[in-house]
Structure 1
Amino acid sequence: MSLHPEFAAAFAELQAHAAAAQANNSTAAEPDLLSERARLAQAARHLQAVYAGDLPPESTYTFDDHKVLVENGEINVRVVVPTSEDKEKTFPVLVWFHGGGWVAGDVSFDDYQLRTLSVELQVVTVNVEYRLAPEHPFPVPLNDCLAALKWTVENAASIHVDPSKGFIIGGDSAGGNLTVTLAHVVRDHPFFKDHPLTGQVPREPMIIHPDTYPEEIKAELCAMEENRANPTLTKDQMLFYASLYKPPRFDDPRAMPYFFPSHAGVAPAYIQYNERDPLRDDAVVLEKLLKQAGVKVKITMYPDLPHAFHYFAPHLFISKQVFRDTIEGVKWLLAGAL
């Protein structure tokens, strides 16, 4: 596997940590939930430490946590609003769903980047802390995110949002899966008839499970095997996460959005993905499906880089470029919404 030169040293360090873990744990070859949650939490802490120095001045935004009622409970959303002298000013909105394989993560994952994005693009961001599998398996994470979207519309005035100026959803990895799925769900949902999505930002999404690869596109889906030993997300880890998500069927389109009968009419998409990722071909197939359905699509591919490299090595220039590209992608979608 050839890797991007800037990532090579970080990859060696990741390999050393993985080898040490396997040496100290006879079952290390098999993913387990506690260790995976700890691994991803550590990455989130590193990410925040790196981006803390780049936060915009506190005077340029406000942020508040809100409780959103969901079925059998409540979830937290963190809302960032740009500061304005005009107290009645409204903004476009980006609703964001964090990654973590549906089993890990919280608003801290992308908190600091979303604050910067809010100020730079003058948009409100709504960062959704959906409940996690396996304690809350499918469709709970999806339904929680849908509830957060409804809450955003219902509370638009109080959080200074005007969806007609731009109503975008986005997310990374599992959050990318939720993004693509919700773009289809919202398209068909009567609640959003007067407030359609204007854009979606799926970053390195999973849209189809290997157990359900259709024969006609199997030749296009080779990344899962080619990149099965990805240093940041192995094939085994990806399948472990999906098994904990527990959809009754992996060809249920609400779990794997490849299987929606039609992809026409969903919001324009800015897709980011990585060449050395087990999920690389999911993004490639998604681009093809959307373009065939007449949906506007823009893509950025990161050569010789693995899944979520920008979370595990956030200090690298190429990792920060992912965030800059996300900002440019949202800007492109906002321009199309006007």
Structure 2
Amino acid sequence: MAHLTRQEALDSGTVSPTYKTAFEAQPVDIGGTDILGWRASRAEHLQRLRHLYPIPGPIPDLVTETLHNVPTRDGASIRVKVYQPIAGPPESKSSPLIMMYHEGAWMMGDLTDEELNCRMFSRDLGAVCVNVEYRLAPEHPFPIGVNDCYDALLWAISNASTLKADPKRGLIVGGASAGGNIAAVLALLSRDNNLDPPITGQYLCVPALLPDTNVPPHLAHLYESRLKNIYDPVLKGGLQPGGVEAIYAPETKSPLWDPYGHPCGHKGVAKAFFQVGGLDPLRDEAVLYDRKLRDDGVLTRFELYSGYGHMFWTNYPRLEESTKFVEDTLRGVRWLLEKQ
């Protein structure tokens, strides 16, 4: 979808009957009395579904997986998992490098969340993928998590030859939800710091891109989905102001938190591939960010899933639309790796 109209965005917020049947029959029931309980409940919920994913586990005959410890700027370390194609990239002697950052509202999630994508990108695109397990809030508040992700990016670039990757053949950052926010932030950071080699593509999956505290007044009427998309079965009741912020504790105006409001604009940032649910409370900020990028001359591709919500393909993997979503993911990231 090249150019999304406002009416198309609004129409996409009508609940799909197929999706409604699925989430009424199987509600997403994640909860706990504290953050540790929430993390455990979410992990158990997703683990019960992963055998239904298109790639339900490792594919050792096609992709190798290795764990590594990456040092961070504050003297700690984080885990990453590296996925390497055994046969090597198609029609090439070197692999592009893809960095993936998981979802979970900056306070939940781990390496399992991006396993499907990393295995798929390595197997089908011949890429070396680095799956990053950044530190989580509230134990590690802003900007520790995003700093971890940038440190992992620098580590992967400096160790590219050991990892059998060549970031000059393509360097992608990607993630879903909070991970999409991080990917957008790192794409801007890459431009600002003249990263060499530069990030060449950003995969922004159901991303958080514009905090409610920072919406320009003239765009307020286009920023409604956080409160009006109340039927999303994952982000139930919409997104109320201050929820995540109370835990992640970001600096409100920091470009490490708000990629939309970056003070230097968006010219020269890497091209972007969006996947967005019409029922998702985060829908409108993705639409606005897509427009912002295109107005600044950035090439974008946008896929909208009318009537479907936040992270629907992971929570309801048997749906036909979920299969389509994963297929679209592969096509979109392949497009990001193409030379302009």
Structure 1 stretch 102-111 or stretch 205-214: which is displaced more? 205-214
Report the counterpart of residue 9 of structure 1 in structure 2: 21
Query: Of 203, 206, 213, which aligns to 1:204?
Result: 206
SS in structure 2 at match of 1:240: coil
- The size of the alignment, in residue pairs, is 323
Segments of structure 1 that go 5 or more residues without pairing to the other structure are 22-27
Deviation at 1:207, TM superposition (A): 1.2
Q: Residues 238 and 298 (structure 1 numbering): CA distance in 2 closer, same or farther, change over 3 Å?
A: farther
Report the counterpart of residue 150 of structure 1 in structure 2: 154
Report the counterpart of residue 224 of structure 1 in structure 2: 226
Structure 1 CA distance, aligned partners of 2:111 and 2:86? 21
**Which structure is higher in helix share?**
1
1:244-283 equivalences under 5 Å are 244-249=247-252, 251-261=253-263, 262-283=265-286
Structure 1 CA distance, aligned partners of 2:226 and 2:267? 27
Structure 2 CA distance, aligned partners of 1:283 and 1:52? 26
Deviation at 1:57, TM superposition (A): 4.1
CA contact 1:56–1:119 (8 Å) conserved in 2: no
Report the counterpart of residue 129 of structure 1 in structure 2: 133
Report the counterpart of residue 93 of structure 1 in structure 2: 97
Deviation at 1:4, TM superposition (A): 1.9
CA contact 2:81–2:132 (8 Å) conserved in 1: yes
CA contact 1:40–1:100 (8 Å) conserved in 2: no
Deviation at 1:36, TM superposition (A): 3.1
Q: Residues 275 and 236 (structure 1 numbering): CA distance in 2 closer, same or farther, change over 3 Å?
A: closer
Structure 1 CA distance, aligned partners of 2:315 and 2:241? 16
SS in structure 2 at match of 1:42: helix
Q: Residues 39 and 135 (structure 1 numbering): CA distance in 2 closer, same or farther, change over 3 Å?
A: same
CA contact 1:253–1:260 (8 Å) conserved in 2: yes
Give the alignment's Cα RMSD to 1 decimal: 2.3
Q: Residues 52 and 58 (structure 1 numbering): CA distance in 2 closer, same or farther, change over 3 Å?
A: farther
| Residue identity opposite 1:209 in structure 2 | P
Deviation at 1:42, TM superposition (A): 2.7
Structure 1 stretch 200-209 or stretch 308-317: which is displaced more? 308-317
Deviation at 1:16, TM superposition (A): 8.4
Deviation at 1:55, TM superposition (A): 5.2
| Residue identity opposite 2:213 in structure 1 | D
Q: Residues 123 and 241 (structure 1 numbering): CA distance in 2 closer, same or farther, change over 3 Å?
A: same
Q: Residues 5 and 39 (structure 1 numbering): CA distance in 2 closer, same or farther, change over 3 Å?
A: farther
Alignment partner of 1:77 is 2:77: no
Query: Which TM-score applies when normalising by structure 1?
Result: 0.89
Structure 1 runs, 4 residues or longer, greater than 6 Å off: none
Structure 1 stretch 103-112 or stretch 165-174: which is displaced more? 103-112
CA contact 1:62–1:81 (8 Å) conserved in 2: yes
Q: Deviations over 1:114-140 (max 9, x none)?
A: 212211111111000000011001001
Structure 1 CA distance, aligned partners of 2:204 and 2:17? 26
Query: Of 168, 176, 185, which aligns to 1:172?
Result: 176
Report the counterpart of residue 25 of structure 1 in structure 2: none
Report the counterpart of residue 325 of structure 2 in structure 1: 322
Deviation at 1:54, TM superposition (A): 5.2
CA contact 1:89–1:160 (8 Å) conserved in 2: no
Query: Of 88, 105, 118, which aligns to 1:114?
Result: 118
Deviation at 1:175, TM superposition (A): 0.1
